[in-house]
Amino acid sequence: MRSYLLRRLWQAVLVLFGVSVVVFLILHLTGDPAALLLPPDATAEDVARFRKAMGFDDPVFVQYVRFLKGALRGNFGESVRHGEPAMHLVLERLPATFELAGAGLLLALCLAIPAGIISAVKRNTPIDYISTVVALMGQAMPTFWLGIMLILVFSVRLGWLPSSGRGDFQHLILPAVTLGLFTTARITRLTRSGMLEVLGQDYIRTARAKGVSEQPVVWKHALKNASIPIVTIVGIELGTLLGGSVITETIFAWPGVGRLSVQAIFNRDYPVVQAAVFILASTFVFLNFLVDVAYTWLDPRIRFR
Amino acid sequence: MTPPNGTAVALRALVEVEERQWVKTLKRLAWRRTALFGLGVVSIVLFAAAFAPWLTPFDPLEQDINHRLKEPGWQTAEGSVHPLGTDHLGRDILARVIFGSRIALVVGLSAVLISGVLGMAIGLVSGYFGGKVDDFFMRLADVQLAFPFIQLAIAVIGVLGPSLRNIIIVIGVSSWVVYARVVRGEVLSIREREFVQAAIALGSRDGRVLLRHVLPNAFTPWLVVATLDMARVIVIESALSFLGLGVQPPTPTWGGMLADGRVYLSTAWWLATFPGLAILVTVLGINLLGDGLRDTLDPRLKL
């Protein structure tokens, strides 16, 4: 097990290295980072001075090493707009994003796993059809449209829930539903197909033949074995949730990293963009490492690999 | 008349079998009502995009400030009807929804083609040669997957500037992973099959083996992935347009229309509702078609 986890850890480090290269390259896409960072009316002299001060005249490799050294210490430079360290701005908004993504994931798991299991157990009954149709719709529904429609119904028409901002629990409901629906739909379908597959296995028949009653067969024997693909998809969906927060946060004026990075793009505040992308990607890598650890507990066969 | 020689007969029989296979596949697909529904939706959207100018009497760009924000079914003095109402500049919403399908499909098809070809190539090479090449590409895939997709897309498009070309390139270049993984998985097993081993033993070059023997057999799962990915790309395109980083106004895009409609949500619900419905129905149709294709062509494929 130790070697398995060590190997995964090494892979995570490699991936983070790759992430740093891509984030560094964002600023160099047009070939002239100075022109991107300075206002369009800067004089040629200003540009030249700025380029020298920032070291943009050095070879790209030297610049990358400097960037990496900074990034490892959490230094992505100062925000052009706020005059604060970019990293500081991002870290400040991170809890809001985690809160939203966490709520979305929790909602998805609480709805999707029971729905998927019931669908599989009551296969081809009206319950199954309804849950399948809802899941299909949920997968096809664009997040931003869902958010707008929820605001239209629950804020504008009914006036039940606030349409923007972060605060008490009520503020969390609409954004969490908006963000979580796609993930809910995906996990529902996966749980259903996973359960169907497991329920047809020999060891389930054995358990039933031994006289184990239906409840433990479904919830203990079957679910534990069906949960491996679910854990995999949760790992992937964490990326969907963190990335999807860009849209959801914009719609609901949720003060998280996603909204910050959209604003930063429009303000040409690239250090903030780089810090935001780097932090979100690293978070995702870290969480997926935790998912790998969870595997070793769920699937003992992995421990011997 | 000379009797047909043996090879020709065998070949014709083969072609017939192959044709029958296709007919069978189509028939099986038609048996699945949901897949048929998806196919219907996709056909309608393709039709709308191709014949947009003939489907609506209104110009999607023509403004009419006197008739702005009119509700669905509203009739002008001249007697023409706006079935879905007009937007904040008095433009016909139905016309804009119909024309919006063009951007969605152009971006969808082009981006899927780019990422599909890229992913196919990487998957073939990675699976066939294995070893260091494989390690390299699979680590690259991990790096790619580590990025929250939209976040990376807006960062890159923000730097390069929003345009149809840039959107297609960014989505196309960053969506190859799922193709590569699926194709690689197929190649790993195809590589060991007799006909491939025979081709290698007969001295075929790697390129020939890959293109003539391996690729055709990895094509079916690739097609399923491409279909399902098309739906994802359309959602991403509208998300970018919604954020103002897509194809720029006045060109009608579903996402852009939604962003406009959001401002008038409390007074004119139809602005945001109909383009969203268009996305929902299109994506649902493509997903159902993709699911049907997978179940018919390659039921073991896990996607």
Q: Distance from B54 to chain A by nearest Cα, in Å?
A: 28
B139 and A15 in contact by Cβ < 8 A? yes
Contact B279 A36 (CB under 8 A): no
Interface contact B95, partner A, CB < 8 A: no
| Cβ pair A277:B272 closer than 8 A | no
Query: In terms of pLDDT, which residue wins out, A28 or A30?
Result: A28
Closest residue in B to A288 (Cα) is B146
pLDDT value at residue B302: 63
Span A218-252, pLDDT tens digits: 887 788 878 888 888 888 888 888 888 889 999 99
With the C-alpha atoms ordered B230, B236, B242, B244, is the resulting torsion angle positive or negative? negative
Put simply, the answer to whether B158 touches A273 (Cβ < 8 Å) is yes
SS in 3 state form for chain B? Answer: CCCCCHHHHHHHHHHHHHHHHHHHHHHHHHHCHHHHHHHHHHHHHHHHHHCHHHHCCCCCCCCCHHHCCCCCCEECCCCCEECCCECCCCCEHHHHHHHHHHHHHHHHHHHHHHHHHHHHHHHHHHHHHCHHHHHHHHHHHHHHHHCCHHHHHHHHHHHHCCCHHHHHHHHHHCCCHHHHHHHHHHHHHHCCCHHHHHHHHCCCCHHHHHHHHHHHHHHHHHHHHHHHHHHHHHHHHHHHHHCCCCCCCCCCCHHHHHHHHHHCCCCCCHHHHHHHHHHHHHHHHHHHHHHHHHHHHCCCCCC
Nearest-by-Cβ selection for A144 from B145, B258, B273:
B258
Q: ipTM value of the model? A: 0.86
Find which of B136, B150, B163 to mutate to test the A interface (most A CBs within 10 Å of its CB). B150
Closest Cα in chain A, distance from residue B200 (Å)? 32
User: How many Cβ atoms from other residues are within 10 Å of residue A219's Cβ?
Assistant: 12
**A270 near B159, Cβ under 8 Å?**
yes
Q: For testing the chain B interface, which of A19, A24, A98, A148 should be mutated: the one with the most B CBs within 10 Å? A: A148
Quick check: pTM over 0.95? no
**Bridge partners for B75 per DSSP:** B81
Q: Which residues contact A76 (CB under 8 A, 6 or more apart)?
A: A70, A85, A86, A87, A271, A272, A274, A275, A278
pLDDT top residue among B66 and B299: B66
The answer to whether residue B243 neighbours chain A at the CB level (below 8 Å) is yes
Q: Answer yes or no: is pLDDT of A2 > 90.
A: no
pLDDT at site B1: 45
Res. B5 pLDDT band, cuts 50 70 90: low
Which residues have C-beta within 8 Å of that of residue A275, sequence separation ≥ 6? Answer: A76, A86, A87, A89, A90
Q: Using the beta-carbon criterion (under 8 Å), do B146 and A15 form an inter-chain contact?
A: yes
Encode pLDDT of B95-130 as tens digits. Answer: 899 999 999 999 999 999 999 999 999 999 999 998
CB contact under 8 A, A258 and B287: no
Interface test with A, best of B147, B280, B282, B303 (most A CBs within 10 A): B147
Position B6 confidence tier, pLDDT thresholds 50, 70, 90: low
- Interface residue B288 vs chain A (CB under 8 A): yes
d(CA A222, CA B15): 46
Which amino acid belongs to residue B95? A
Partners of B149 on chain A (C-beta within 8 Å) are: 239, 243
Say how far apart CA B288 and CA A257 lie, in whole Å.
34
Strand-pairing partners, residue A85, are A78
Search chain B and give the residue with CA nearest A238: B148
Contact B148 A136 (CB under 8 A): no
The CA-atom distances, in angstroms, between B31 and each of A43, A128, B25, B294, B300 are: 68, 20, 10, 14, 19
Residues of chain A found within 8 Å of residue B268, distances taken between Cβ atoms: none
**A14, A247, A285 member nearest B139 (Cβ):** A14
pLDDT tens track for A68-123: 888 888 888 888 778 889 899 999 999 999 999 999 999 999 999 999 999 988 88
CB contact under 8 A, B151 and A148: no
The answer to whether B133 and B203 are in contact (CB under 8 A) is no
Provide the shortest C-alpha distance from residue B35 to chain A (in Å): 13
Confidence grade of residue B15 (pLDDT, cut at 50, 70, 90): confident
Q: Which residues of A touch B243 (CB under 8 A)?
A: 246-247, 250, 262
Q: What are the pLDDT digits (tens) for A246-290? A: 899 999 999 999 999 999 988 888 889 889 989 988 888 888 888
Asked if the Cβ–Cβ distance from B154 to A284 is below 8 Å, we say no
Neighbouring C-alpha atoms within 13 Å toward the C-beta of B234: 33
- Write the pLDDT tens digit of every residue in B156-211: 898 888 999 999 999 999 899 999 999 999 999 888 888 988 998 998 888 888 98
Tokens of B56: 């609506």
Q: Does B152 touch chain A (CB under 8 A)?
A: yes
When pLDDT is averaged across residues B244-263 and rounded to a whole number, the result is 90
pLDDT tens readout for residues B128-153: 998 999 999 998 888 888 777 888 88
Between chains, do A281 and B148 touch, taking CB under 8 Å as contact?
yes
Q: Identify any residues that bridge with A78 across adjacent strands, giving them in sequence order.
A: A85
Closest in B139, B146, B258 to A285, CB measured: B146
pLDDT in tens, A207-220: 888 888 888 888 87
Nearest-Cα residue of chain A relative to residue B286: A140
* Distance between start and end Cα atoms, chain B: 54
Q: Which domains are delineated in chain A? A: 96-268 (1.10.3720.10)
B262 touches chain A (CB under 8 A): yes
Put simply, the answer to whether A142 touches B160 (Cβ < 8 Å) is no
